[in-house]
Amino acid sequence: MEKAIRVISIERGFDPRNFTLVSFGGAGGMHALDIASNLKMPRVLVPKNAGVLSALGLLLADSIKDYSKSILKTADELTGEELEAHITELEERARRAMKEDRISEQEIRIYAFLDLRYLGQSYEITVPFRTRNAPQSSFISAFHKAHKKLYSYHHVERPVEIVNIRIKAVGTGKKIKLKKRMPTDSKPERALIKKQTIHYKGKSHTASVFDRARLSTGNKLDGPALIVDAESTTFLPPSHALEVDGFLNLIILRKGKAHG
């Protein structure tokens, strides 16, 4: 799991130290803190209903449809009118499909992207097309900038090839609204189930076991501890602490950085 995070962050030009690790799945919370520590990520967020987060996501997510068309021409070989015609064709397909799903015109958002590469390369970078108040050719500059960020170099004089045109249609229909809860006077001790011995990194510790369903906004806990619910278990290691936020997520930090 740690290697997979490195692939999608460091190898793509992003420093994981600037991000929060979101843990989900029934066992995600058992491993999240060690993974975050190895990657020097400062914070872990364990959402409410972590064990069924994918199902919750289906209820909250936008309806999205993606369309693409292969071009394989350099930017100099394709006129602006031809490029617009290809994009318009895909946009019309996307709008028809969205309306067939009973999504109104007012709820449809269309985004255009181009897969670009230097002529002769075997990999491409996806950049936005037609950003607000930008000239049509700005996608070339955006590609050079993205290439330098990802690979530490760019060739502004080298021909840029348009590999694919992509359209993302987003239906922004009505969503379930998550209720934010205010802090209460409820103490975390009311959620304590028991204390038990656990073994972590070759040492024995006395850990508190908490019923997550009884924790309230503003509650703070120090590790070592186990936080359990019907779908998942979260391990709070020694030298770590957590706070329950307004959406009943667990926000976990190393001690010294926590509860701030």
pLDDT for 62-107, tens place per residue? 999 999 999 999 999 998 889 999 999 999 999 999 999 999 999 9
Domain extents in the chain: 2-57+180-254, 63-171
Question: What letter represents residue 229's amino acid?
Answer: D
* pLDDT at 135 (0 to 100): 64
* pLDDT at 259 (0 to 100): 47
* pLDDT at 94 (0 to 100): 96
Residue 224, preceding peptide bond in cis (omega within 30° of 0): yes
Rounded CA gap, 162 and 124, in Å? 9
Rounded CA gap, 210 and 189, in Å? 8
* pLDDT at 130 (0 to 100): 74
| In this structure, CATH architecture of domain 63-171 | 2-Layer Sandwich (3.30)
Mean pLDDT by groups of 10 residues along the chain of 260 residues:
82 88 91 91 94 87 94 92 93 95 93 96 92 68 93 93 96 84 92 96 95 96 95 94 96 73
Give me the residue label for tokens 């509860």.
Answer: 259
Rounded CA gap, 187 and 21, in Å? 27
Secondary structure element (H or E) that encloses residue 236, with its range: strand 233-236
pTM: 0.68
**Greatest C-alpha distance within the chain:** 71
